[in-house]
């Protein structure tokens, strides 16, 4: 079983509306930006057809790993319709919610075709502790790459 660094995602068949899920490959998510003069990054692998995810959230000098079994995540991806949402629930009421700005999404390829690359601007809707108060509303530039 793969080692998870940051988060776990549950991708349901409904999450990729109109797109087939091929194999147990991962998509790479790479987001970066800055907020209040500090660098932010959200980087790692989001499995396309299995439960585990491997992401890392960094703000300034602090890094937080979100991984299973402590974290439960859902992802909704339909780039054709301008949708990318990631929700990671942690113990208690702690969570990370990231949502792409629909009009910023640009993509090429398809999951069913075995290769998809996308870029978008996303907003942190909710951030986990210790970043909760400072990162809400922060914008990140993201790239998403899926390749069988």
Question: pLDDT 10s digit of each residue in the chain, 148 long?
Answer: 333 333 333 222 223 332 333 345 678 899 999 998 999 999 997 766 555 668 899 999 999 988 777 777 788 889 999 999 988 888 887 899 999 999 999 999 988 888 999 999 999 999 998 899 899 999 999 999 988 7
Domain annotation covers residue 66:
yes
What is the CATH classification number for the domain harbouring 97? Answer: 2.40.128
Q: Do the domain assignments include residue 43? A: yes
Examine residue 5 and state whether it is found in any structural domain, yes or no.
Answer: no
Indicate whether 60 belongs to any domain. Answer: yes
Structural domains counted in the chain = 1
Per-residue model confidence (pLDDT) at position 12: 27
How far apart, in whole angstroms, are the C-alpha atoms of residue 59 and residue 39?
6
How many degrees, rounded to 5, is the angle at CA 57 between CA 31 and CA 52? 90
- Domain assignment of residue 139, given as a range: 26-147
- Kindly provide the residue ranges of all beta strands, DSSP E only, lying in 18-114, ordered along the sequence: 26-35, 38-47, 54-59, 62-66, 72-78, 83-89, 95-100, 106-110
Residue 67 lies inside a defined structural domain of this protein: yes
**17 lies in some domain:** no
Q: Which two tokens stand for residue 124?
A: 């942190």
């Amino acid at each position: 079983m793969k080692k998870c660094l940051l988060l776990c995602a549950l991708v349901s068949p409904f999450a990729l509306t109109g797109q087939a899920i091929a194999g147990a490959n991962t998509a790479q998510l790479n987001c970066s930006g800055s907020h209040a003069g500090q660098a932010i990054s959200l980087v790692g692998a989001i499995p396309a057809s299995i439960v585990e995810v491997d992401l890392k959230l960094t703000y300034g000098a602090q890094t937080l790993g979100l991984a299973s079994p402590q974290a439960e995540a859902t992802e909704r991806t339909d780039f054709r319709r301008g949708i990318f949402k990631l929700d990671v629930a942690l113990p208690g009421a702690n969570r990370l919610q990231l949502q792409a700005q629909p009009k910023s999404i640009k993509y090429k390829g398809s999951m069913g075709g075995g290769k998809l690359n996308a870029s978008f601007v996303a907003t942190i809707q909710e951030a986990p502790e210790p970043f909760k108060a400072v990162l809400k509303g922060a914008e990140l530039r993201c790239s998403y790459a899926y390749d069988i």
